[in-house]
Amino acid sequence: MTDPADLTVTIVDGYVDEPAHFGVPPYISTYPRFTAGAVVDAGVPESNVVYHTIDELREDRQKWRDVADADLMIYIGGMTVPGKYVGGTPAEPDEVRELAWVAEGTALMGGPIRFGVGDENAGGQDMERKNLDYDFVAKGDIEAAAYDLVDSGLEGFGNRMRDNEELDRWAAMGAFVVEQHPNHPDHLICEMETSRGCAYRCSFCTEPLYGNPAFRTADSVVKEVENLYDRGARHFRLGRQADILAFGGDGEAPNPDALRRLYGGIREVAPDLGTLHLDNVNPITIVGWPEKSREALRIIAEHNTAGDTAAFGLESADPLVQEENNLNVSADECFEAVKIVNEVAGWRPGDDPADAPTHGSDAANRLPKLLPGINLLHGLKGEREETFEHNKRFLQRVYDEGLMVRRINIRQVMAFDGTDMSDTGADIARDHKQLFKTYKKEVREEIDRPMLRRVAPAGTVLPNVHLEYHQDGRTFGRQLGTYPLLVGIPGERELGKTIDVAVVDHGYRSVTGVPYPLDFNEASMDELTAIPGIGRSTAGDIVVNRPYADAADVGVDADVTKYVQ
C-alpha cells in the first residue's frame, strides 16, 4: 500500500463551465481547490501537490514532466454549457486523452466531464460518456474520489458524493492552490459554492443531477473566503448555486437573514476585497416571495461591488416550449422579476438607492450595483419559428419599459444523458441553426446595443480594467466580475496592467473606452478622436494647441468634462 505521505500529486485544470459554476480564467472553480484539500486531508503533504492549468501546459512543454512524474495525476474539467472565452481555452477531448497517455502514475478524471464529452466544446451537440483512457473516472464527486483513492493507497474508490462536513475541511485546506494559478493574485476570481442541486427539473439542465439543493452554512463559506483571502485572493464570486436568494432556506423561499450573515461575514474577513459578485437567481423566487426577495436584494446591493449580474434562467418566452421542457417561469413572471431587481438594486454608487433604477443624464457615472441577466436557450423541445418572435417581443418589452438588463445570453442546447433532453438530442438545434443565427444578429442590433447605451452610457467609468490582448491596433481588457464588459481602448498598451477607463462608444456586447481621467496634454490622436463630438480635425487642433491648464481650456464644443476628474 502506498503511504499518502510519500505521494506526489499533479492536478490539471482543464476548466469547467456549468449552469451554476465558472472555471475558465480569470475564474478558478471550486473543484481543484476542494480536490487539493481532499488529498491533503488524506495525508499528502501540501508541498507534494502541484497545480497546472491546461493553458500552462500548452505554453510550456517542460511542465508536462509534472504530469508524467506524478504518482497521481488528477484531471478536472467539463463543459455543460457552451461559451466563448477570452482568458483561457478549455481543454479539448484530444488534449484530455493525451494527459492520460503521458501520465506514468495513476490517472484520475472527474468534474462535470463525467456527464459527457462532445467532439468539441460547442453548443448544438449530443454529449457521450467516455473514459478517455484514464485509469479511473469519478462518477461522483472528484474530491471524494481523490480522498478515497489516496486513502486506499491508490487501489480504488467507491463513487460517492461528499458531505458538508468534508467540504468544510477540504475547502479550507485547499485554498493554497490559488497561489499556483498563473493569474494569482491580481487577475484571479474565486468561484464560491453556497449550494448545489436544484429544486426544479428543467429538461436540459445538469444541475438537478446533483440532487435537491444542499446548502452550506454562512460560516463555512465565510471561513473559506478568509482562507483564500489569507492566500492573497481579493476577488470572489458567489456563483456556485442555482439561486442565491434561496441560500440558507428550503431551496425555494428567500432567507434574508442567512444572506445578511453570508455577505456581512465576507465583508468582515475580507475588508479590502476588490470584487464581490454573484450569478444565478431564479426569477420564480422573486415573484413567489416578492417582499422577502426585495429585502434579500437590498442586502446584496449593500454589500456587493458595482456591475454585478443576477442571471435569470428564462430560457424561452414561448409558452409551448416552457410547458414541454418543464420551465418554471413565464415571460410575464420573468418581466416582473426584472422590474423588481431594477427597483431595488438598479442604482449606481453615488445615487440614492430610492431612485432606482437610475439611468440617463442625471445618473452617477458608475455601473449599477445589481441588474438581471437573461438566459435564452434554443433547440429545446417544442421550439418553432414563433419561439424566436416570443423571445424578441419579451426583450423589446423590457427595453420599452425603461428597465435594464446587464446582458442577454443566447445559446444552443447541449444534450446530456440523464436529462430529459437526451431523447431529443441536438436535432432541433441543428435544424434551426440558420434561423438561430439570423435571430441572434437581430437581438444584438435591436436590443443589445441600445440596452448597453442605457446601462453604460458615454462617460461611465469602469475601474480596474485588466488589459488582456491586442487586436487591430487596439488593446482589449475586462474588469473582474460576473459577465464583465469587454473594453476596447485605442492604441496598444502594455498587457497585464490595470487601468481605469471611461466609456465613449458601444458595440453589441462590448464598449470602446479611453483611459480615465484623460490627460488632454498627453492623449493620443486616436484617444481624442474616440471621444463623442471630437473628429480628426478637432483632435489635431487639440494636439497643436497644447499645453492646457485644465479641461476647460481645451475649448471644444464637445462635452469633455465627463472624461476628466
**The three cell numbers locating residue 231:** 492566500
Amino acid at 405: V
Report d(CA 555, CA 547) in Å as an integer: 12
330 and 430 share a domain?
Answer: yes
- Quick check: is 291 in a domain? no
481588457: which residue's cell? 477
The pLDDT value recorded for residue 557 is: 74
CATH number at residue 223: 3.30.750.210
Report d(CA 14, CA 53) in Å as an integer: 6
- Quick check: is 337 in a domain? yes
Name every residue whose Cβ is closer than 8 Å to that of residue 65 and which is 6 or more positions away in sequence. Answer: none
CATH number at residue 83: 3.40.50
The pLDDT value recorded for residue 123 is: 41
Among 183, 218, 249, which residue terminates a domain? 183
- Quick check: is 288 in a domain? no
This prediction has a pTM of 0.92
- Quick check: is 504 in a domain? yes
450 and 465 share a domain?
Answer: no
- Quick check: is 81 in a domain? yes
Among 183, 202, 233, which residue terminates a domain? 183
DSSP 8-state secondary structure symbol assigned to residue 362 = T
- According to the 3-state scheme, what is the secondary structure of 15-43? EEEECCEECCCCEECHHHHHHHHHHHHCC
DSSP per-residue string spanning 209-248? GG-S-EEPPHHHHHHHHHHHHHTT--EEEEEESS-GGGTT
148 and 20 share a domain?
Answer: yes
**The three cell numbers locating residue 287:** 415573484
The helix/strand/coil state of 395 is helix
Among 429, 456, 483, which residue terminates a domain? 456
Segment holding 169, helix H or strand E: helix 164-173
Taking the alpha carbons at both ends of the chain, their separation in whole angstroms is 66
Report d(CA 5, CA 46) in Å as an integer: 10
Instruction: Let me know how long the chain is.
Output: 565
Do residues 282 and 242 lie in contact, with contact meaning Cβ atoms separated by under 8 Å? yes
- According to the 3-state scheme, what is the secondary structure of 498-560? EEEEEEEEECCCEEEEEECCCCCCCCCHHHHHHCCCCCHHHHHHHHHCCCCCCHHHHCCCCCC
Do residues 241 and 195 lie in contact, with contact meaning Cβ atoms separated by under 8 Å? yes
For 92-222, strand residue ranges (E) read: 106-110, 125-126, 136-137, 189-193, 195-196, 214-215
165 burial (CB, 10 Å; 0-12 / 13-18 / 19+) is exposed
243 and 137 share a domain?
Answer: no
364 and 389 share a domain?
Answer: yes
Which of 50, 28, 29 shows the shortest CA–CA distance to 39? 50
How many domains are contained in the chain? Answer: 4
Which of 145, 132, 137, 121 shows the shortest CA–CA distance to 99? 132
- Quick check: is 285 in a domain? no
448 and 480 share a domain?
Answer: no
Along the 565 residues of the chain, how does pLDDT read in single tens digits? 679 999 999 999 999 988 778 999 999 999 999 999 999 999 999 999 999 999 999 999 999 999 999 999 999 999 876 667 888 999 998 999 999 999 999 999 999 887 665 444 444 434 455 667 899 999 999 999 999 999 999 999 988 999 989 999 999 999 999 999 999 999 999 999 998 776 665 555 565 566 666 789 999 999 999 999 999 999 999 998 889 999 988 778 999 999 999 999 999 999 999 999 999 999 999 999 999 999 999 999 999 999 999 999 899 999 999 998 888 899 999 999 999 999 999 999 999 999 999 999 899 999 999 999 999 988 888 889 999 999 999 999 999 999 999 999 998 876 556 555 566 667 787 888 898 899 999 999 999 999 999 999 999 999 999 999 999 999 999 999 999 999 999 999 999 999 999 999 999 989 999 999 999 999 999 999 999 989 899 999 899 999 988 878 888 877 888 888 7
- Enclosing domain of residue 379: 306-456
Report d(CA 99, CA 53) in Å as an integer: 12
423 and 493 share a domain?
Answer: no
Do residues 139 and 114 lie in contact, with contact meaning Cβ atoms separated by under 8 Å? yes
DSSP 8-state secondary structure symbol assigned to residue 280 = B
The pLDDT value recorded for residue 121 is: 45
Per DSSP bridges, beta strands 498-506 and 461-471 are antiparallel
- Quick check: is 486 in a domain? yes
Report d(CA 335, CA 470) in Å as an integer: 39
CATH number at residue 526: 2.40.50.140
Do residues 316 and 390 lie in contact, with contact meaning Cβ atoms separated by under 8 Å? yes
195 and 256 share a domain?
Answer: yes
111 and 172 share a domain?
Answer: yes
- Quick check: is 284 in a domain? no
33 and 50 share a domain?
Answer: yes
Report d(CA 377, CA 409) in Å as an integer: 8
403 and 464 share a domain?
Answer: no
316 and 424 share a domain?
Answer: yes
